[in-house]
Structure 1
Amino acid sequence: MMVCWGSASCNLPGNFHTGAKTTSDRNVTVEDVMILMRTILKNSDKILTFLYGQEYEEIADTFPRLAAEEFIVLMDIRNDGKPETLRQMLSLTKRNSFVLLLDTPDNIVSLFQMMRMAILKTHLTRWILLMEGSDAENSVVRLQEFVNEGTQIVIFVKTSDGHMAHFLPYVDLYGVTQFIDKGNWKSTEELKEIVFKDPQQKPYDLSGRKFKMGVKESYLLIKLGRKFPDGSVELLSGMDVAFINMVTSALNITYKAYIPKDDVWGDGLPNGTATGLIGMVAKREVAFGISVLSISDSRLRVVDFTCPYSSGRYVLMSRSPKQKNRALAVLSPFQLQVWVCITSAVLLMGPVVYSIAYLVNKYVANNGEEIDFLWFHFNMFRNIVNQGNLIEDKSFQVRVVLAFWFLFCVINAALYSGMLTATLAIPAYETPIDSLQDLPRATKEGFTIGTLGGSNYEFIFKTATEGIFKDTWNLFNHEDRSKSFVDNANVGVMKVLSEKFVFITSDNFFRAFQTTFGKGRFHVGQQKLLPTFVGIATPKGSPVTGPFDRVILRLAEGGIIDKVIDDHYRRIPAVPSAKQASESTTSASITLTHLQASFYILSMGTLISAATFLVERMTFRHITNE
């Protein structure tokens, strides 16, 4: 089949030339293309895609019949200069297929330049470039800037004397791709095979190489030092620093560390580009990146990852729930309706006992004794607080009522005493924040929801279209991002300690915070969110991924990675806390906090008494004056 990509009316980029050569001006012939096609197809059962420029339409027109019989796809390489169009065109080429590209040297260089800028995948395809012209060999040198390490590519340059110059890629110690002239081949002779250097099929030797590494400072995991004139930074300490030093030492490689310009971890965007540290790796500005980089689908679209060297889960971290206010602790043993019933009983029992005593004295005993109404009221209150009974009445009816009243008072006093003791011995705390479902309540209580800005944590909530993750994203402060999105984990933990702040982070960070500031100062939610796996980010198709994987697996199988992590946390210095020190030296005795309610009641009674005295005094003066 034949696929024409673009049309004659396409708006071509400035670097693309469309003036067609005549057959007499062309060195590349149909026979040259046929020899290359036959060589590829006889040594592989994979599909061959023939990309050609507009200047070579006459050659392409001779292949429709062959394309129907063989596994060949013909594509016109004319392009409108948009990365999206180029990405769609390359998506039509099959995975691990062969691509024979025939065009002018300038157009071929421009094509690979656009693929590099648009972060398009080229490592899955075996490229055979065929070009001609006086500027062809110069274009081979220009291509070195845009061909990624790990790209399987062979270049043939047709000379005026009928020979084919043969070039293969070579990567120097600094990771720079160079094309080496492997000699000439007479185009009249058949090729036995076309040899590609596939870094994935056999161990890739990195010994002695010097790389650029991308880093992002991370609390207690990567600590950066001074910045050098060449833009690199010094790595001082941290768990990830110790880990990458072990890996690079095992591979006998060295590196220089560089930080992203926007100083964020970054992520893969829907349009195929990337930001932050992930963007540095995707654009091959660095050979690999490390900084507690979580492996996610969005990042895997633009970069590769080594096998994980650490794992964890996203958690909700907040301050430890504080004890509830003890000012009303004396009221906590009974619910409101119980207090209403007890108060009503005390107020009613005075008149009831007084009425019984009055009726018995008037109609039964008939002894003419005077009975004080207020005295009966006051004794009801004495009974309820276990202060004994001062009512002297010999009548059977009054004694029966008082007997049951005393029993009522004893039961309530015992229950109140027991519940108050339990309440003071086991203090009540604020409701903890244990899950995403608790976050709306937390925001109503004045908490701010936050996470690391530009990190994978933010991206997961930001890209959610529905469900609890979408609802959680709406709870972040988007009007003032500085309140919800922090630059590093250290700022986040300080906000947790100093204000009402819920920090969504990895439990690896939480473990470091606990070691530094103490376990009692933080609360981690019971709900464990998405699992997170941490790896080293590498460019798509980079040959360094395989050697890194082999070293990481050996370190993991030997338990060395776990030992490095445990040693790192043991060496984290703890920050002294005055609160912790005071709590550790305080005995388990009754404090003013436990008794503050009793002092409040005493003060309240004194104020009521003083107010009553003032009212009586004013009333007495008013009566006297009249």
Structure 2
Amino acid sequence: MLYRHVIRGVVIDTFQDKMDLYTYGPCDAGNCCRNFEKIIELGACQYQNGIEVFSNKFKIEMKNCTLNVATHHWPPFSVISKKTEGKKTLGIEQILIEMGAAHLNLNLNYSVVYDTEVYGFVLPNRSMTGVLKSIEENDAELVFGSFILSANRASGLDYVWSHLVHRDFLAIFVPPTTLVEKWRAIYLSLHVHTWILLVFVFVIYSVLSSSVSNRTEKDFVLCCRDPSIILYLWGFMVQNVSWIMHRRLQSSPILFGIIWFSFLMNGFYQSSLTSLITKRDTKQVIDSIKQLEESNLKPCISTVTKIHMELTNMAIINGGNSQPKECEETDEAFYTMESRSDYYTVSTLAKYRVILDSFNQTIPRIHTVKERYAPLIYGFFVYRGFPLTHQLHLYMLRLGESGHIDKVIRDVIPEYGETRNFGGSTTSTISLSDLRIPFALLGFGMVVSILVFLTEVKIR
């Protein structure tokens, strides 16, 4: 019974019409739920047909006991250093486990599985794999290290789940995005609706200005007094002010309106021109599962993520093709996807942050699809009947309500909750070649002006 972690058990000894009850106290003080000193006799069963067969005499005294804990190296939740014996760099779940152990007056004895991709699942025959096998073989009472709470694991183990609830997501990552060329950013910032607005305002001002012009009645053309004023208005739009406008419109509010409109349009655009060029935008990328389905990207998903998706009935998009061998491990899947533009991968956002920190600053950014698969719940897994499951659950719940878990996450991941660019800076300097469009327009305008000027001189 004790080997199977049965800590609340009663043996019934029947002889003739008499029923004697016996039990043991593996969780009494000093036993730590691993051994017992003697068989406890509860006496004869008094209410054979009743609900209370025997009184509850079980005690849980685990103060100063040593809890065997199994984990693996999976930053940022569990961080194990191979180089320094006896020392460990604490991850998020490690810090929370040690806080819980201190609260319950427990000591921790770590056993580490250095194969980072070995998680653990419950097989159909109820046996376990990976780190979870440590519980099955009685080498550990508790395992942790980015274990996602799933029906498969919950079917064979008890768990504490109140510490990391919906703080991480299973996300889709597509190849690096390419930045818009700096010379194209100058005119791409003016979208179609901006041009429509400019034309609409220009037409309105042209009609109003020509209608109130100071020309005589004989100069009427259609419904307007001065259609030539349109050319002067266009001069305002390109910051070429003419005194003729002031003479014809005098102090009309329309004149002040077109001046202010031209000033604001030119001022805002020119003041924003530097940021438009130096801080470039990215080209259109995949941002939904539907767009991913319509693309030709093939999956490059690690084995452990693929197993989790299959157990939770998550569809692997475009999953008909076989994956290269480099996609079996999570880190290699990211590097393969980054170097080849025809693959995508699936992983947790927390793991993505850790992997991107190891990328070279010159590597382009990997794009995270905005539409995510699902929020995740992580768990500490213990054997069935573990006596401190409820106490650990309540303590982790209180840590979350008081904000301590958020602080632990920010201590380990400083950029938690913030937008961070892991692919290096996208800001660069401006060169003359980046201003090819403005210089081309300037050259074209100067050529046209010179030709018009020479034509007028020749005619006169």
Question: What interval of TM-score do these two structures reach, taking the shorter chain for normalisation?
Answer: 0.5 to 0.7
Question: What does residue 241 of structure 2 align with?
Answer: none
Query: Is the aligned partner of 1:529 residue 2:367?
Result: no
After TM superposition, the structure 1 = structure 2 runs for residues 132-211 of structure 1, keeping only pairs within 5 Å, are: 143-144=1-2, 146-150=3-7, 152-156=8-12, 166-171=22-27, 172-178=30-36, 180-183=38-41, 185=43, 193-196=53-56, 204-211=60-67
Question: What does residue 458 of structure 2 align with?
Answer: none
- 2-side partners of 1:553 and 1:528: how far apart? 26
Question: What does residue 79 of structure 2 align with?
Answer: 223
* Change over 3 Å in CA distance of 1:170–1:471 after alignment to 2: closer
Return the TM-score normalized by structure 2: 0.59
> Which letter maps to 1:280?
S
Secondary structure of 2:317's match? helix
Question: What does residue 474 of structure 1 align with?
Answer: 319
Of 119, 123, 127, the residue aligned with 1:269 is: 123
- 2-side partners of 1:233 and 1:265: how far apart? 23
For the pair shown, the structure with the greater C-alpha radius of gyration is 1
Query: Is the aligned partner of 1:315 residue 2:158?
Result: no
Equivalent pair of 1:224/1:233 in contact (CA under 8 Å): no
Question: What does residue 150 of structure 2 align with?
Answer: 296
Give the CA deviation at 1:153: 0.7
Of 281, 286, 290, the residue aligned with 1:437 is: 290
After TM superposition, the structure 1 = structure 2 runs for residues 183-582 of structure 1, keeping only pairs within 5 Å, are: 183=41, 185=43, 193-196=53-56, 204-226=60-82, 235-260=88-113, 264-281=118-135, 284-310=138-164, 311=166, 312-323=168-179, 429-442=282-295, 444=296, 447-454=297-304, 457-463=305-311, 469-472=314-317, 474-475=319-320, 477-478=322-323, 480=324, 482-486=325-329, 488=330, 490-500=331-341, 501-512=343-354, 521-570=365-414, 580=424
Give the fraction of aligned pairs with identical amino acids, expressed as a percent: 14
Question: What does residue 373 of structure 1 align with?
Answer: none
Question: After superposition, what is the alpha-carbon deviation per residue over 1:51-110, rounded to whole angstroms, capped at 9, x for unaligned?
Answer: xxxxxxxxxxxxxxxxxxxxxxxxxxxxxxxxxxxxxxxxxxxxxxxxxxxxxxxxxxxx
Give the CA deviation at 1:289: 1.1
Secondary structure of 2:80's match? strand
Give the CA deviation at 1:327: 12
> Which letter maps to 1:458?
K
Which structure 1 segments of 5+ residues have no match?
1-142, 334-420, 599-626
Question: After superposition, what is the alpha-carbon deviation per residue over 1:107-139, rounded to whole angstroms, capped at 9, x for unaligned?
Answer: xxxxxxxxxxxxxxxxxxxxxxxxxxxxxxxxx
Instruction: Give the RMSD, CA atoms, in angstroms.
Output: 4.5
- 2-side partners of 1:272 and 1:182: how far apart? 32
* Change over 3 Å in CA distance of 1:283–1:589 after alignment to 2: same
- 2-side partners of 1:461 and 1:578: how far apart? 26
Secondary structure of 1:503's match? strand
- 2-side partners of 1:282 and 1:594: how far apart? 69
Secondary structure of 1:315's match? strand
Give the CA deviation at 1:531: 1.5
> Which letter maps to 1:247?
G
* Change over 3 Å in CA distance of 1:221–1:492 after alignment to 2: farther
* Change over 3 Å in CA distance of 1:439–1:475 after alignment to 2: farther
Secondary structure of 2:413's match? helix
Secondary structure of 2:300's match? strand
Give the CA deviation at 1:208: 0.9
Secondary structure of 1:235's match? coil
Secondary structure of 1:224's match? coil
Question: After superposition, what is the alpha-carbon deviation per residue over 1:513-556, rounded to whole angstroms, capped at 9, x for unaligned?
Answer: 56676897232111021111112112223212112112212211
* Change over 3 Å in CA distance of 1:242–1:427 after alignment to 2: closer
- 2-side partners of 1:590 and 1:556: how far apart? 54
* Change over 3 Å in CA distance of 1:540–1:193 after alignment to 2: closer
- 2-side partners of 1:264 and 1:459: how far apart? 12
Equivalent pair of 2:301/2:345 in contact (CA under 8 Å): yes
Equivalent pair of 1:247/1:551 in contact (CA under 8 Å): yes
* Change over 3 Å in CA distance of 1:464–1:567 after alignment to 2: closer
Secondary structure of 1:567's match? helix
> Which letter maps to 1:558?
S
- 2-side partners of 1:188 and 1:460: how far apart? 48
Equivalent pair of 2:23/2:42 in contact (CA under 8 Å): no
Give the CA deviation at 1:559: 0.8
Give the CA deviation at 1:328: 11
Higher normalized helix content (fraction of residues): 1
Give the CA deviation at 1:158: 7.3
Higher RCO (C-alpha 8 Å, min separation 6): 2
- 2-side partners of 1:461 and 1:290: how far apart? 20
